[in-house]
């Protein structure tokens, strides 16, 4: 994966009411050994276009099958993961700010309960061409490249809004989840850097639930044990910090909830197949 950013001097010109592209990344099939684990973006919406293959992604509260031609929308704040270890999947991802859609919250392109995977169908060739051109122009960085990329992005967004994002057949997610398990997961997502022990639930008046029952239901619903989920959540946020900041490995480890930078590095390499230092070097291009 290579993630390319527009200059902050350019993106800083836009206000929160104007949609503008922040970055675009390209994931090839050979990148499947280095998954992007559980993470969210507080003020960024992401658009993923699956350009090849098929696999499973984790979105908020469920695992969803995706394939070539699918457009995935991650509203800001939605926890997600792209982990294709057993599948060969290629995709483009655009990160944007400044959404201001009617009847939607700031940081949302689709309603909260809408199904986040949409079909591009016959528009796929046109859409993939716009993604590819945005990436190519940003990679080349020639005269007026930032303005060109922004204009291409605006064309892409207009095309999506007119033909896909407003489609009448958008499905509604299944919300038949245990409310108390959902509530605890939401707490974990918001406080991933804090200590969390399942056994403490036994004496928690806010969540009166048996710890064994909780662990069983959590894995049944989300596909990971609570501890596995929390580990992937922390590593996912660490990946974001490695890409977007100059913080040291130790600073990042501490900020996402690890007391030991050595343990953090070991777990990171186990999940991502690269050390934090290797990951930063591989995926950051100035």
Strand spans (E) along the chain: 2-5, 20-27, 36-39, 45-52, 54-59, 62-67, 70-74, 80-82, 90-97, 117-119
Geometric angle at alpha carbon 25, from 39 and 186, rounded to 5° = 15
Angle between helices 276-283 and 261-272 in degrees, nearest 10: 60
Least confident of 67-76, 87-96, 144-153, 163-172: 163-172
pLDDT in tens, 251-266: 999 999 999 999 999 9
Q: Quick check: pTM over 0.75? A: no
Residue range(s) in the chain whose domain bears CATH number 2.60.120.280: 2-163
Instruction: Enter the tokens of residue 9.
Output: 């001097």
Whole-angstrom Cα distance, residue 201 to residue 207?
7
Give the single-character DSSP code of 174.
P
Mean pLDDT of 117-132: 94
Q: Given pLDDT bands bounded at 50, 70 and 90, which one contains residue 286?
A: very low
Mean pLDDT of 97-107: 80
Least confident of 169-178, 214-223, 245-254, 263-272: 169-178
CATH number of 2-163: 2.60.120.280
pLDDT in tens, 174-197: 443 478 888 899 899 999 999 888
Q: Given pLDDT bands bounded at 50, 70 and 90, which one contains residue 237?
A: very high
CATH architecture of 179-283: Orthogonal Bundle (1.10)
Nearest to 79 by CA among 116, 53, 54, 111: 116
Whole-angstrom Cα distance, residue 272 to residue 26?
17
Residue range(s) in the chain whose domain bears CATH number 1.10.10.60: 179-283
Region of residue 275 (left: phi > 0; alpha: psi -120 to 50; beta: else): beta
Whole-angstrom Cα distance, residue 125 to residue 18?
27
Mean pLDDT of 230-257: 95
Whole-angstrom Cα distance, residue 81 to residue 64?
11
What percent of the chain has a predicted confidence (pLDDT) above 90? 50
């Amino acid at each position: 994966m290579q993630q390319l950013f527009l200059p902050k001097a350019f993106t800083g010109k836009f206000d929160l009411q104007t949609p503008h592209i922040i970055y675009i990344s390209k994931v090839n099939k050979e990148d499947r050994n280095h998954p992007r684990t559980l993470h969210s973006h507080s003020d960024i919406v992401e658009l993923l276009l699956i350009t090849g293959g098929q696999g499973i992604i984790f979105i908020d509260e469920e695992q969803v099958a995706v394939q070539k031609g699918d457009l995935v929308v991650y509203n800001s704040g939605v926890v997600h993961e792209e982990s294709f270890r057993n599948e060969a999947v290629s995709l483009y991802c655009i990160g944007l700010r400044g959404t201001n859609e009617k009847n939607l919250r700031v940081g949302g392109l689709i309603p909260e309960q809408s199904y986040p995977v949409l079909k591009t169908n016959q528009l796929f060739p046109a859409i993939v061409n716009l993604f590819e051109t945005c990436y190519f122009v940003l990679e080349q960085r020639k005269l007026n490249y930032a303005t060109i990329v922004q204009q291409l992005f605006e064309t892409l967004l207009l095309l999506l809004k007119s033909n896909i994002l407003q489609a009448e057949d958008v499905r509604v997610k299944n919300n038949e989840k245990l409310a108390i398990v959902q509530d605890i997961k939401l707490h974990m997502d918001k406080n991933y850097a804090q200590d969390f022990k399942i056994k403490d639930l036994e004496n928690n008046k806010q969540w009166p639930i048996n710890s064994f029952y909780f662990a069983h239901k959590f894995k049944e619903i989300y596909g990971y044990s609570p501890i596995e989920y929390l580990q992937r959540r922390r590593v996912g946020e660490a990946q974001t910090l490695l890409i977007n900041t100059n913080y040291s490995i130790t600073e990042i480890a501490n900020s996402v909830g690890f007391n030991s930078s050595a343990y953090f590095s070991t777990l990171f390499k186990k999940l991502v197949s690269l050390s934090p230092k290797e990951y930063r070097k591989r995926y950051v291009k100035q």
